[in-house]
Amino acid sequence: MSDDAEAEKRGSERWLRCAVSAEVNGRRVNEAIERGAMENGTAVFVCECGHLGCTTTISLSIADYEAVRTNFDRFLVAPGHEIDQVDQVVERHPDHIVVVKREGEAAAMAAAADERPH
């Protein structure tokens, strides 16, 4: 592998880790929001996308957020915020989408960071 190709691969891997870390951080914020919300109510959650600096919010019922969180690799994302290299869209709703992490490092990072029992 050439030096340029190797540098590009390292840069791509670093970008992937940054994107997944941003998604995981969004999830941690939402887990705290959910813990503080009324069980039957709604809450304003943050987009769990991998775009650094995203400040988009999504209003959902607690039950709808729980439906997103049925597995460690499922994330709540605003429409248009999915990242093809990291995410696969599995559900589309008018105000949000649900993505799963693609296989490999992204999925492994999501699993390692999930605070819920598997």
| Neighbouring residues of 32: CB distance < 8 A, sequence distance ≥ 6 | none
Number of residues written out for the chain:
118
pLDDT single digits (tens) 6-60: 545 555 778 878 888 888 778 888 888 888 877 778 999 999 998 989 999 999 9
Give 16-37 as a DSSP string: HHHHHHHHHHHHHHHHHHHHHS
Q: Where are the domains of the chain?
A: 3-113
pTM for this predicted structure: 0.73
